[in-house]
Chain A
């Protein structure tokens, strides 16, 4: 396996800017160089407004980058703008886990988990089978017919994690996955992530909590749209 193939994600000099209505340029990312290996569990830390979430969204193909190169599993996708390809990447290559769970309130837990496969065009039987397996793995099979509003925060996040795994993606992207949970549930979610990392999923997680970040193999520290430290060491008292 060559070096690029061993990397899940590689970025070279990535910039991202927004433009206000008056033409003023707001630089959010200024020259990001990043390498994340396959199966690595990485936490993105840093101050608010430092560009963590923007970087995560660019990795997740929700945002186009302004300039630079972005290699996903060795392939440069930095210039891809076509919706079909981007939707395919988000659907098959990535799984998103959000702070606010972002489940569809009208759908049952089971239907929420199965939804990515609907967009992938998988048959109903296969979808059901896979979704039930995931609910079982995440220990919420007994809640499969519940609507999100009938579930606790921890349960909702398990459903959301199950959904992110539905199409068996290589990469999981999590934006403050424990941010809306109490510490007990938060720790449980982190144990799940730890397990997934062991199963060779690449996990990139945005967090500002050291307790959460310490579950990761590596911590990347960002400030003002730049990576300050590619292997940040937490203080030992955390």
Chain B
């Protein structure tokens, strides 16, 4: 019985191929758009995750304010890190470091990299892992040793892409004419501390060596603080402010001579903006789908009007209202699911093509397929119902009389 009605619905659609095709075009476009935009959204979220994957959400960065107005004499000190560690609640560790740019050469290869003057606990706090050799020690710091731990990006640039980390250890680099021995190589981190500053395209030297010998006046001092948990970030930042203001002996009227941010919130912000974009794109695609549903409704009304006589005949020979309703409803559902399937197909073809372009990163997601397919079927059901209902309620005599 139901199969017969299904067959009749299918036959009716096939007998009007062009109209059926045009009416599903909207659904096709809508569904393929949803699939592609969900892919774009998923892709950009994944890119953000990759970019920040090694970033600790429990970090707080403290740095000097850029010289402005009365507070040019900003004086963030190495000891501030110790004070923060001792006086602020829920701080698991804190370390001061200096950064700056440095021209590094090895043999004929030469390039500019970030130089971090770091203390022994820096690597723990920033989640940097060793690939070969050793990390920096307190002795390096005290002795102002001319040694460096290098990031994987730097090694790739200077030693070639298929370097042997164990052989890199022991080599000597030249920094602004000064010889520095490599004592360790770090694993690829992929992340960055603050936007463009990459942990991979960098080298790490003992704090004292970097500050006094290498960077001189160009060094920028920062403190990285690791909180016990994300929940303490806000209260921690407040306490750090209080502690540092006291330490720097600032008067009530004076502004802070340091500033702070938590990289974790940057990830959140980036994810938020990616989510907002996904949501925006999906809403647009949803609107396309709804508009296409209106198209289907329109076509179904035309179909019902055209087949009024047929409805009358069917009723005269014993079709119930529900038989008529199911047939027309099935027609619109077949239309929309058919359109949905074609749309899914087009989406799957378009995604690899988009990925050929630079800067595009589209991920084909199963949830996108399910979402758009379900939605298109619902559109057919929803927008097909009213025309089908109208058809089922036609007066048989009026319907028979129509031509």
Interface residues of A (CB under 8 A from B): 57, 60, 62-63, 83-84, 87-88, 90-92, 96, 98, 102, 104, 106-107, 115-116, 118-121, 163-164, 167
Residues of A within 8 Å of B310, CB to CB, are: 104
Q: Which residue of B lies closest to A92 (CB)?
A: B318
* Residue-wise interface mask of B (259-275) relative to A, using a CB-CB cutoff of 8 A (1 in contact, 0 not): 00000000000000000
C-alpha gap A18/B216 in the complex (Å): 103
C-alpha gap A121/B318 in the complex (Å): 11
The answer to whether B321 has its CB under 8 Å from any CB of chain A is yes
The answer to whether B397 has its CB under 8 Å from any CB of chain A is yes
C-alpha gap A187/B319 in the complex (Å): 31
C-alpha gap A91/B317 in the complex (Å): 5
Q: List 14 additional A-B contacts (Cβ < 8 Å) besides A91-B319, A121-B1.
A: A57-B397, A83-B320, A90-B318, A102-B309, A102-B313, A102-B400, A104-B310, A106-B15, A107-B11, A116-B317, A116-B318, A119-B323, A164-B317, A167-B318
C-alpha gap A120/B323 in the complex (Å): 11
Q: Can you offer 9 A-B residue contacts whose CB atoms are under 8 A?
A: A62-B315, A88-B318, A96-B316, A98-B400, A102-B313, A116-B318, A118-B1, A163-B317, A164-B317
Given known A-B contacts A62-B397, A104-B310, A115 and B317 have beta carbons under 8 A apart: yes
The answer to whether B4 has its CB under 8 Å from any CB of chain A is yes
> Is the pair B396, A119 in contact by a Cβ cutoff of 8 Å?
no
Residues of A within 8 Å of B396, CB to CB, are: 62
The answer to whether B281 has its CB under 8 Å from any CB of chain A is no
**Shortest distance from the beta carbon of A204 to any chain B beta carbon, whole Å:** 14
The answer to whether B12 has its CB under 8 Å from any CB of chain A is yes
Residues of B within 8 Å of A119, CB to CB, are: 314, 317-320, 323
**Shortest distance from the beta carbon of A190 to any chain B beta carbon, whole Å:** 22
Contact size range, B? 20 to 34
Given known A-B contacts A63-B397, A121-B1, A106 and B12 have beta carbons under 8 A apart: yes
> Is the pair B313, A104 in contact by a Cβ cutoff of 8 Å?
yes
> Is the pair B316, A90 in contact by a Cβ cutoff of 8 Å?
yes
Interface residues of B (CB under 8 A from A): 1, 4-5, 11-12, 15, 309-310, 313-321, 323, 396-397, 400
> Is the pair A87, B400 in contact by a Cβ cutoff of 8 Å?
no
Residues of B within 8 Å of A164, CB to CB, are: 317
- For B310, B318, B396, which residue has the most chain A Cβ atoms within 10 angstroms? B318
Residues of B within 8 Å of A88, CB to CB, are: 318
Given known A-B contacts A62-B397, A104-B310, A106-B11, A87 and B319 have beta carbons under 8 A apart: yes
C-alpha gap A98/B310 in the complex (Å): 13
Residues of B within 8 Å of A63, CB to CB, are: 397
C-alpha gap A159/B277 in the complex (Å): 62
Residues of B within 8 Å of A62, CB to CB, are: 315-316, 396-397, 400
**Shortest distance from the beta carbon of B394 to any chain A beta carbon, whole Å:** 11
Q: Which residue of A lies closest to B309 (CB)?
A: A102
The 9 closest A-B pairs by CB, nearest first: A91-B318, A87-B320, A119-B318, A62-B396, A118-B4, A116-B317, A102-B313, A90-B318, A96-B316
Given known A-B contacts A57-B397, A104-B310, A106-B11, A96 and B317 have beta carbons under 8 A apart: yes
**Shortest distance from the beta carbon of B172 to any chain A beta carbon, whole Å:** 87
Residues of B within 8 Å of A96, CB to CB, are: 316-317
C-alpha gap A98/B314 in the complex (Å): 13
Residues of A within 8 Å of B315, CB to CB, are: 62, 87, 90
C-alpha gap A121/B316 in the complex (Å): 16
Residues of A within 8 Å of B400, CB to CB, are: 62, 98, 102
C-alpha gap A198/B357 in the complex (Å): 82
> Is the pair A87, B15 in contact by a Cβ cutoff of 8 Å?
no
**Shortest distance from the beta carbon of A48 to any chain B beta carbon, whole Å:** 14
Q: Which residue of B lies closest to A93 (CB)?
A: B318
Residues of B within 8 Å of A60, CB to CB, are: 316
Residues of A within 8 Å of B1, CB to CB, are: 118, 121
C-alpha gap A106/B321 in the complex (Å): 21
Given known A-B contacts A57-B397, A62-B397, A87 and B316 have beta carbons under 8 A apart: no
Residues of B within 8 Å of A87, CB to CB, are: 315, 318-321, 323
Residues of A within 8 Å of B5, CB to CB, are: 118
C-alpha gap A103/B118 in the complex (Å): 91
**Shortest distance from the beta carbon of B389 to any chain A beta carbon, whole Å:** 13
C-alpha gap A80/B63 in the complex (Å): 87
Q: Which residue of A lies closest to B14 (CB)?
A: A106
Given known A-B contacts A62-B397, A104-B310, A84 and B11 have beta carbons under 8 A apart: no
Q: Which residue of A lies closest to B316 (CB)?
A: A96
**Shortest distance from the beta carbon of B37 to any chain A beta carbon, whole Å:** 39
**Shortest distance from the beta carbon of A170 to any chain B beta carbon, whole Å:** 14
**Shortest distance from the beta carbon of B141 to any chain A beta carbon, whole Å:** 89
Residues of B within 8 Å of A104, CB to CB, are: 310, 313
Residues of A within 8 Å of B309, CB to CB, are: 102
Residues of B within 8 Å of A90, CB to CB, are: 315-318
**Shortest distance from the beta carbon of B198 to any chain A beta carbon, whole Å:** 68
> Is the pair B316, A84 in contact by a Cβ cutoff of 8 Å?
no
Residues of A within 8 Å of B313, CB to CB, are: 98, 102, 104
C-alpha gap A115/B5 in the complex (Å): 10
**Shortest distance from the beta carbon of B381 to any chain A beta carbon, whole Å:** 22
CB contact between A83 and one of B12, B317, B321 (< 8 Å): that residue: B321
CB contact between A120 and one of B316, B318, B321 (< 8 Å): that residue: B318
C-alpha gap A83/B1 in the complex (Å): 19
Q: Which residue of B lies closest to A91 (CB)?
A: B318
C-alpha gap A96/B313 in the complex (Å): 9
Residues of A within 8 Å of B314, CB to CB, are: 115, 119
C-alpha gap A163/B314 in the complex (Å): 12
C-alpha gap A122/B315 in the complex (Å): 17
Q: Which residue of B lies closest to A96 (CB)?
A: B316
